[in-house]
Amino acid sequence: MRFLFIVLTLFTCKAYSQKFDFTTPIKLSMQINSAAEELSPILSPDGKTLYFARALDPNNIGGEMGGTDIWIVKKNSSGEWQKATNNAYGWNNKYNNAVIGINKNGTVVYLLNAYERGSGISFSKFTNGNWTEPERISIPGMNQNDLAGCYMNSNFDVLLLSMKSKKSLGLEDLFVSLKDSIGSWSEPANLGSSINTGGYEISPFLSSNGNQIYFSSNGHGGYGDSDIFMAERLYDSWTVWGKPQNLGKVINSPKFEAYFSIQGDSIVLFSSNRDGDLADIYQSKVLERNEEIVIKDSVNRIVNQTKLLL
């Protein structure tokens, strides 16, 4: 009777996993997108300021063939985006610049650039009505010369990096550096072969709960040049992940998609060149639904065991 009870219980037991649908992406206005290339969009916590990187623009500090600049656009009182500017509080120079994270109240931004050397990670604080001069963050073992992109979480204790390294499995791989209780950062660790491939993995983004990573890759198959994927973190580890899931053909196209971010668990931003040669910024929205999954394998296994014991 005990085994029959287990079987009957399992037949009524259901596991729930969250799947995501997305609204059709909309290209943001010409106040933001241009004839140049727009990358790495990240929205402030209040949703009123958008930071992004622009490449191949003659108005960049380093000129058209210099590095990317940080561009900033704000909403007016009617909720419409105003004209973007790269007059970004001294955050731009001739090297690659981007905002790679924002704290929870929007008063600290984390920056791709070390400023005195042109590569690395820095931060700037909003104090007394002004943004402070960027301060360098020391990350041991980070390959600054081959750093392709980063994401800093809002708690300032998890840094995801896309870079080339002797520990890489292919081209750019994803790594993680963690801050300990005394404020020191660990040497970047490879996220492992579930995430990284012989191709490239770039533009990491971490969910607000720290359990899902979003990234772009050309090594996991998909719809086109590079697709955006999501993977679940397992066993509270930063190097053990579930199989990456393609976000689907609403987000991904036969062309390049990358730099995915979610603000408030619903507003989605990403870069794509689906409408041309250079990437623009698109906006979508998460439509969340619960999908019931019956654990058939477990039920069948215990049914078979029960039959042998009856």
- Per run of 10 residues, the mean pLDDT along the chain (length 310 residues) is 38 43 94 96 95 96 93 93 94 93 95 78 94 92 76 95 85 94 94 94 94 94 91 95 95 96 90 95 83 41 47
HEC string for the chain? CHHHHHHHHHHHCEEEEEEEEECCCEECCCCCCCCCEEEEEEECCCCCEEEEEEECCCCCCCCCCCCCEEEEEEECCCCCECCCECCCCCCCCCCCCEEEEECCCCCEEEEECCCCCCCCEEEEEEECCEECCCEEECCCCCCHHHEEEEEECCCCCEEEEEECCCCCCCCCEEEEEEECCCCCECCCEECCCCCCCCCCEEEEEECCCCCEEEEEECCCCCCCCEEEEEEEECCCCCCCECCCEECCCCCCCCCEEEEEEEECCCEEEEEECCCCCCCEEEEEEEEEEEEEEECHHHHHHHHHHHHHHC
Crossing angle of helices 296-309 and 2-12, in 10° steps, is 160
Task: Please tell me the pTM assigned to this model.
Answer: 0.85
| pLDDT given for residue 120 in this prediction | 85
| pLDDT given for residue 117 in this prediction | 65
| pLDDT given for residue 150 in this prediction | 93
Contact 190, 177 (CB under 8 A): no
